[in-house]
Amino acid sequence: MKEMELKYGCNPNQKPSRIFMENGYELPVKVLFGKPGYINFLDAFNGIQLVMELKKATGLPAATSFKHVSPAGAAIGRPLTEDLKKVYRVEDMGEMSLLACAYARARGADRMSSFGDFIALSDVCDEDTANIIKREVSDGIIAPGYTEKALEILKGKKKGNYNIIQIDENYKPEPIERKQVFGITFEQGRNEFKIDEELFKNIVSKNKNLTKEALDDLIVAMITLKYTQSNSVCYAKDGQAIGIGAGQQSRIHCTRLAGSKADIWWLRQAPKTLNLRFLESVGRADRDNAIDLYIGDESEELLIDGVWERFFEEKPPIFSKEEKKEWLKKNDNVALASDAFFPFSDNIERAYKSGVKYIAEPGGSLRDDNVIEACDKYDMVLCFTGMRLFHH
């Protein structure tokens, strides 16, 4: 197939719509089930690049959860703790494959944003991963292949209309890419910049102790940013993104947005949150919404009489601001990457509040000295990569 007609473009009024190969070659994808749309394919093609690159850089299976052409989460396959299994809603799954762990992490990093996601997997989708996807609200998936059992599980979603795409894992795009805006064609070389351990050799802070675990987290964060709408900042820990700030005009707003998501990720692991006793009748999405309210600044809306009874078996205890602050202090060794330089040290101050210990950014600001000084104040490790990673 050399082209595929789509129902419409970004919006229903944008017709006609299609994907095709300008060079006349066959499309490198097959739609096994469903009918993916324009935005689905944008998410799929950005997501598959991200996970393939993560797999190549780390040697571990990778997964990402995409929404509106930016990742809501991305992760490599590492086993989950019992608490994380509970946070990610997979505590009943038993032992899981590393690919399934990767998707559980990617989906679980920001469950509110991942609702209705498009999934990309670096490896052949297996039964464990399909069973996680089966019970989540999702628009579709792209992967290099599917086991027979996984395909049987996935094609049962949405009454057989779940979007399942298979991509040729040997596909190599042309080195020049083009797109049109306002009837004008833009052309550029593909961003083939390689992100690996060598990128983080230039440590400019006093603290030079960049651990292997932190290095992996910085790689995850940087590769995630490579496929995130700029400006973008990513917090990472334990092989996964835990907070992504995308598409903000101000970098400090990126840092704050991503930091608030990282804080929510950590607050969801607090004992008070883990011990919430939901009614069996409350669905997964409603539980996510309730948890978001409970750990947020407007928890009183959830705990008033006449409201909490709709969600919980018993009224939850108040999770005070002081208790939240104390719990947040326990999050440490977080990695942070930025797709362009930090122009002010306020980004470092905000990062510190979310447990950041390791930072990677291009450097090159007139105020680099102030940024380095702020990192030294908090005994952080700061790497200058010398490479900007804008993505639009």
Annotation says 68 is catalytic: yes
Cα 3 to Cα 26: distance, rounded to the nearest angstrom: 8
- For residue 253, indicate whether it is catalytic: no
- What's the CA gap between 73 and 120, in Å, rounded? 11
Q: Which residues is 39 bridged to in the sheet?
A: none
C-alpha to C-alpha distance for 262 and 336, rounded to whole angstroms: 11
| 392 classed as catalytic | yes
- 70-76 and 62-67 as β-strands: parallel, antiparallel, unpaired? antiparallel
Distances (CA, A) of 329 to 88, 152, 333, 350, 377: 22, 45, 11, 13, 17
Q: Name the active-site residue from 159, 172, 212, 392.
A: 392
Give the residues across from 356 on adjacent strands: 334
Q: Of the listed 40, 46, 67, 331, which one is catalytic?
A: 67
Q: Which of 56, 68, 158, 253 is catalytic?
A: 68
Q: Which residue in 231, 324, 331, 347 is the catalytic one?
A: 231
Is residue 23 part of the annotated active site? The answer reads no
Residue 125 to residue 99: CA distance in whole angstroms: 8
Joined tokens for residue 139? 């628009």
d(CA 37, CA 235): 30
Beta strand extents in 160-264 (DSSP E only): 163-167, 176-181, 184-189, 232-237, 240-246
What count of Cα atoms within 13 Å lies in the side-chain half-sphere of residue 53? 24
| Residues annotated as part of the active site | 67-68, 231, 392
